[in-house]
């Protein structure tokens, strides 16, 4: 059975997908087979295959197996807004049974590792008082935290780490990602987080607007995951 991890971020737009793809490539470089799972996505283009989310397509592309899009992203909405609002607008309810069924199916594919990428930040609301983090806690998935290195990151990172631990979960590791040009006092901020997040530090991803996962993987050391 596959080992699984959940990838979350300190906010939306902090580079979760870019980091998840880099993690997938790092694991493949270590001769591990890996699948990426984006159970819920909001923000998609309509194609002759239906709605397709760019982040989910990247996870599909970087996986070790040729899997259909629906296996990677079972729940997708067109507008790039909070998923529970998109679901309300579409007259739908986000089904956690569907999320779970997709996850369990991927775990039977024979991959060494399944990386589940969240949407938005850690406490993503799903409607009816549900949060995606509740599902992660139910599955007891170790969490990989992507910290967007920008103004406010220390507060966001510490609060997110505290919430993950309060859910009874382990932080398997964290990545400092610069989603835009480098912030002032970057090294000092990373040093502070290394002292205050009780988890392995996988490395810093500098701002690389043209980088691909193969290049980005060289910035990470994920040996502590295994």
Say how far apart CA 196 and CA 204 lie, in whole Å: 16
Say how far apart CA 196 and CA 29 lie, in whole Å: 30
**Among 16, 38, 107, 170, which one carries the catalytic annotation?**
38
Write down the residue that tokens 């993987």 correspond to.
217
Handedness of CA 59, 60, 66, 69 (dihedral sign): positive
Query: Residue 165 to residues 83, 142, 143, 171: CA-CA distances in angstroms?
Result: 24, 10, 10, 7
Catalytic residue at 38? yes
The DSSP result for 44-58, as a single string, is -EEETTEEE-HHHHH
Cβ atoms of residues 71 and 106 within 8 Å: yes
Say how far apart CA 38 and CA 191 lie, in whole Å: 31
Q: How many helices (H) and strands (E) does the chain have?
A: 9, 12
Say how far apart CA 206 and CA 25 lie, in whole Å: 17
Other beta carbons within 10 Å of 157? 25
Residues with a catalytic annotation lie at 38
């Amino acid at each position: 059975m596959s080992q699984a991890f959940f990838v979350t971020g300190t906010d939306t737009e902090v580079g979760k997908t870019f980091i998840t793809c880099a993690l997938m490539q790092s694991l493949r470089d270590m001769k591990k087979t890996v699948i990426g799972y984006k159970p819920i996505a909001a923000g998609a283009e309509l194609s002759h295959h239906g709605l397709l989310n760019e982040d989910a397509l990247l996870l599909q592309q970087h996986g070790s197996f040729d899997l259909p899009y629906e296996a990677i992203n079972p729940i997708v909405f067109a507008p790039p807004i909070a998923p529970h609002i998109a679901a309300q607008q579409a007259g739908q309810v986000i089904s956690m049974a569907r999320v779970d069924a997709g996850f369990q199916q991927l775990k039977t594919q024979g991959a060494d590792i399944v990386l589940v990428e969240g949407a938005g930040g850690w406490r993503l609301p799903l409607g009816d008082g549900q949060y995606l983090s509740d599902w992660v806690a139910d599955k007891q998935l170790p969490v990989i935290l992507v910290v967007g290195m920008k103004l406010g990151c220390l507060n966001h990172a510490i609060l997110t780490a505290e919430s993950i631990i309060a859910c009874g979960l382990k932080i398997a590791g964290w990545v400092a990602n610069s989603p835009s040009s480098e912030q002032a006092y970057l090294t000092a901020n990373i040093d502070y987080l290394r002292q205050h997040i009780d988890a392995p530090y996988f490395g810093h991803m500098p701002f690389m607007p043209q980088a691909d996962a193969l290049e980005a993987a060289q910035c990470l050391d994920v040996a502590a995951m295994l």
